[in-house]
Amino acid sequence: MDAVARTQTAFRLKDSLIIRLKHQARKENRSLNNLVEETLEKAVGREIEFPTLPSPEQLDDFMKAWPSAGTSMPEGYQGKTGAEQAELDKKLLADILWEKYAESAD
């Protein structure tokens, strides 16, 4: 089974809702996190499948070869390491995927 990336976050919820969620989780013998995550997934629909991104080393190799291709590097990439470029790529990819998801959900 593939590891799923998770982000820890915080929300402010009504005390009465937290009590009901904890009660339901105990009743179903599962964690509060599991109950909330599954409930939210059902509420917002299907999961988005993110493609595998290249490693920082692969990006370094690609960027070293880029000038020989006769094109210029994307704005913001100059002077960045592969790891920094990978972070820029993740942000750009996330924006693109969310736009596509929003279009397909309409």
For the segment 3-19, what is each residue's pLDDT rounded down to a tens digit? 777 888 898 999 999 99
Range of the domain at 20: 15-44
Q: Residue range 25-29: average pLDDT?
A: 94
Residue 33, pLDDT > 90, answer yes
Same domain (yes/no): 25, 60:
no
Q: Is residue 49 part of a domain?
A: no
Rounded Cα–Cα distance for residues 56 and 85 (Å):
8
Q: Residue range 45-62: average pLDDT?
A: 68
Residue 26, pLDDT > 90, answer yes
70 CB contacts (<8 Å, ≥6 apart)? Answer: none
Same domain (yes/no): 62, 97:
yes
Q: Is residue 10 part of a domain?
A: no
Same domain (yes/no): 37, 62:
no
Would you mind telling me the total number of residues written for the chain in this entry? Answer: 106
